[in-house]
Amino acid sequence: MSGGMAELRDSGIMIQLAFQAMQRMGLDQQRMMKRLGVTPELLQDRHVRTPHEAQLLFWQVMEQETQDADIGLHLGEHMPVYSGQVLQYLFLSSATFGDGLTRALNYQRLLSDASQSTIGEAGELAYIQVDSSSGRVSGLRHLNECLALGLVRFFSFVTDDAFAPAHIEFSHEQPADIAEHQRLFGCEVSFAADENRLFFDRQLLDLPSSLAEPELLQLHERLASEHVARLERQDVVTQVYKAFGEMLESGPVTLESVSGRLNMKARTLRTRLSEAGTNFNQLLADYRCNLAKRLLADTDESIDEIVYLTGFSEPSTFYRAFKRWTQQTPVEYRISRQRSESAAKQGDAAEAVEG
């Protein structure tokens, strides 16, 4: 493996807005959190990033739990408007809507590493083309429709309701009933197109922003650049974790061996990890700890096998490290997790009987 692209991730604001929409829709948030593996801490962390391909599981669960053929549209309808983020500030402080849109697309990674949105023009219309660099995710109907509605509502918000879509094209096949599309978008909607595109009056690009402020714009661009730089620093952490997963079973994992796998000098890797606020030994300990806890809780692997899988040469070294990490022995941890799982299942069974 070379020092290639890190795992694609989305801004946590996306899942946070989705859960706020669930609350407004009266959905069982606790049940959704359990099925999706979402913690209360994740819903509060402004800097969290979630795996982009988790969108596949998210929309599958939403379909199953709601039995709503238009769940993407309805979740988008109930989501709070995207606000309080640096991309919104770039829009509001830019001279025109078009300037704000161009600047926001320069920093679209703040919303998702996978985002590949572009601006184009077609006659009297302009359009924003929205796509994901992940082939598995780009064709998700509910995600595409939720994002399109979120964009329409956001653009209306930053233009004081001047923005209105003229036409929308989706790359997925047309559903059996499009009444909700017509109600929520208020324009012609077509399907099975080459790309996902949101068309609007080209004159809107020149619409002045009522809050344009050059000095604030400079500040917001600097903030956006700093946020992107922080994400780039975190990329190396993701790459190191991936290297751990590929190397732990095959021999000693050292700063030198990992840096060689990433095609960089050990000194460079040490510096980049320091810039990301961590160090090699801490990352290795965290990775081994999380892997050991997952294997103990979710598998029947023997302790000796877990020692091997986590890259320890001796069981005694593993035991000491695990006790230092968790204040429990591996056996104590496994038993406590089994008891917790058993209690949770009994609780679910009792709820089912009462229901």
DSSP for 143-196? HHHHHHHHHHHHHHHHTTT---EEEEE-SSPPPS--HHHHHHH-SEEE-S-SSE
Report whether pLDDT(350) > 70: no
**From the centroid of its chain, how far is CA 157?**
23
The predicted pLDDT at position 347 comes to 65
- What's the whole-number mean pLDDT along residues 222-242? 86
Say what the pLDDT of residue 85 is. 84
Range 55-58, long-range pairs (CB < 8 A, 24+ positions): 55/10, 55/137, 55/140, 55/143, 56/136, 56/137, 56/140, 58/15, 58/18
> What pLDDT does residue 49 have?
86
How confident is the model over 170-210, as pLDDT tens digits? 999 999 999 999 999 999 999 999 999 999 999 999 999 98
List helix spans (H) across 168-279.
179-185, 214-247, 255-261, 266-275
Bridge partners for 189 per DSSP: 168
CATH assignment of 226-342, given 3.10.129.10, 2.160.10.10, 3.40.50.1110, 1.10.10.60? 1.10.10.60
Q: Residue 90 in contact with residue 228, Cβ under 8 Å?
A: no
User: How far is residue 315's CA from residue 292's CA, in Å, rounded to a whole number?
Assistant: 12
CA–CA separation, 180 vs 177, rounded Å? 8
- Partnered with residue 169 across adjacent β-strands are 190, 197
Rank 112-116, 182-186, 259-263 by mean pLDDT and report only the highest.
Answer: 182-186
For residue 272, the Cα-to-chain-centroid distance in whole angstroms is 23
Which residue has better confidence, 204 or 83? Answer: 204
Fold type of domain 9-212: H-NOX domain (3.90.1520)
Give this prediction's pTM. 0.72
Q: How much is the pLDDT for 3? A: 37
pLDDT at 335 > cutoff 70: yes
* Residue pair 196/171 in contact by the 8 Å Cβ criterion: yes
Domain-wise residue ranges, the chain: 9-212, 226-342
Indicate if the pLDDT at residue 231 is higher than 70.
yes
Q: How far apart are CA 228 and CA 231, in angstroms?
A: 5
Q: Dihedral (C-alpha) 134, 139, 144, 146: value to the nearest 10 degrees?
A: -100
**Percentage of the chain exceeding pLDDT 70:** 95
**89-96 average pLDDT score:** 93
- At 295-330, the pLDDT tens digits run 998 899 999 999 999 988 899 999 999 999 999 999
Q: What is the mean pLDDT of the chain?
A: 89
- Average of pLDDT values for 75-104? 92
What does the pLDDT average to over 105-115? 88
